Amino acid sequence: MRYYLIDRVTALTPGESARGIKCVTLTDEILHDHFPDFPMLPGALVVEAAAQLSGFLLEMTFNANANEEARPVVRAVLAQIQRAKFHHAVEPGDCLDIVATIAGMHESSAQVDFEAAVGGEQAARGTLTFVMREIDSPRVHEQRRQIYALWTRGMSPPLVLP
């Protein structure tokens, strides 16, 4: 994954919801071309930030007891974006506060509603559908553990990362 669009996970309740932030700065390379005189985070990347937080929530939920039950670790794969709405631009200096809430879960899939706000004002919202897949790649698992450890450092108690 080239773009990590969550800077920190600020709250997690497995099986329910997660909250995270993305601080938008002029050093975000995409802003140099989108747009030169009016830099703003593209809506697709706002949705991607919500998808990354949602995937983290689902992986922490689905893999909660994977080691104890000798089940394989599964990873969240975005399958569908529904009802994405954008209410105002997210600009450099903004801190995007994202909340992901599980709307429905099945054996190998889930639906997550998200809201993204800046300064308490809604910037975007939508619904994301994921499939949960076993991925046979130690590199994928290590990469996820590393980024999740960065996103959640300082959380108390420390999380057990799948």
**For 65-108, how does the pLDDT look when each residue is reduced to its tens digit (9 = 90+)?**
776 667 889 999 999 999 999 999 999 999 999 999 999 999 99
Nearest to 129 by CA among 54, 21, 48: 54
Give the position of tokens 């002029």: 26
For 24-42, the pLDDT digits (tens) are 999 988 888 888 889 999 9
pLDDT on residue 59? 97
Q: Does residue 32 carry a catalytic annotation?
A: no
Output the pLDDT for position 65: 79
Phi–psi pair at 108, nearest 5 degrees = -135, 25
- Catalytic residue from among 32, 34, 106, 141: 34
Strand locations in 14-67 (E): 17-23
pLDDT at 3 (0 to 100) = 79
Return d(Cα 67, Cα 12) in angstroms, integer: 20
pLDDT at 18 over 60: yes
Q: Which residue has the tokens 């954008």?
A: 86
Q: How far apart are CA 118 and CA 5, in angstroms?
A: 15
Contacts of 18 (CB under 8 A, 6+ apart): 9, 11, 12, 53, 54, 56, 57, 60, 99, 100
pLDDT of 1 = 54
Give the whole-number percent of the chain exceeding pLDDT 70. 97
CATH topology of domain 8-152: Thiol Ester Dehydrase; Chain A (3.10.129)
- Residues 138-151 have pLDDT tens digits of 999 999 999 999 99
Q: What is the pLDDT of residue 32?
A: 86
Measured CA to CA in angstroms, residue 118 lies from 113, 115, 141 at distances of 17, 10, 32
Residues with Cβ within 8 Å of residue 27, at least 6 apart in sequence: none
Region 102-115 average pLDDT: 97
Q: End-to-end distance of the chain based on CA atoms, in angstroms?
A: 18
Q: Where are the beta strands (DSSP E) in the chain?
A: 8-13, 17-23, 74-86, 95-105, 109-118, 121-134
Q: What is the pTM of this model?
A: 0.95
Region 105-131: mean pLDDT is 97
